[in-house]
Structure 1
Amino acid sequence: MGGLLANWNSYQDTLNAVTRPIQMGPIWMQARQLSGATFNDRIWFTDPPASSYPACVAVKCAARQSPEAEDAYLYALREAVMTQQKNIARKEILLETAAAMPADILNYERFTKELTAPTVIDAFKADLHEVSYRNINRFPTLVISSAYNKKALVVTGNRPYEAIAPLLEQCLHPVAAV
Structure 2
Amino acid sequence: MTETEKKQRIKQEGSVQIEVYTDPLCCWSWAFEPQWRKLRYAFSGKIKWRYRMGGLIPSWDSFSDPMNSISRPLQMGPLWLEAKHRSGMPIHDRVWFENPPKSSIPACLAVKTAELQSPVAAEQYLRAVREAVMLQGRDISERKVLLEVASELARRKPAVLDFSRFEQELGREASKKALEEDLQKTRLHGITRFPTLTIHKPGAAGVMIVGYRPYEALLEALKQVAPELTPTQHAEDEEKYSAYWGEGITEREVAEALQTSVL
Runs of 4+ off more than 3 Å: none
Q: Distance in 1 between matches of 2:68 and 2:192?
A: 12
Report if the CA contact (8 A) 1:148-1:171 is conserved. no
1:45-95: per-residue Cα shift (whole Å, max 9, x none)? 122111100000000011111222111111111111111111000000001
Equivalent position amino acid for 2:208 in 1? V
Report if the CA contact (8 A) 2:110-2:170 is conserved. yes
Match of 2:210 among 142, 156, 178: 156
Q: Distance in 2 between matches of 1:148 and 1:162?
A: 25
Percent of aligned pairs sharing the same letter: 43
Residue of structure 2 in register with 1:143 after alignment? 198
Report the Cα offset of residue 155 of structure 1. 1.8
Quick one: higher RCO (CA 8 Å, sep 6+), 1 or 2? Answer: 2
Match of 2:219 among 157, 165, 168: 165
Equivalent position amino acid for 1:171 in 2? V
CA RMSD of aligned residues (A): 1.4
Report the Cα offset of residue 170 of structure 1. 2.8
Q: Does 1:112 align with 2:164?
A: no
Q: What is the 5 A alignment of 1:124-135?
A: 124-135=179-190
Gaps of 5+ in 1: 174-178
Aligned partner of residue 60 in structure 1, secondary structure = helix
The count of aligned residue pairs is 172
The structure with the largest strand share of the pair is 2
1:107-155: per-residue Cα shift (whole Å, max 9, x none)? 1100011112211100000000011011111111111221141x44322
TM-score normalised by structure 1 residue count? 0.90
Equivalent position amino acid for 1:136 in 2? I
Report if the CA contact (8 A) 1:57-1:124 is conserved. yes
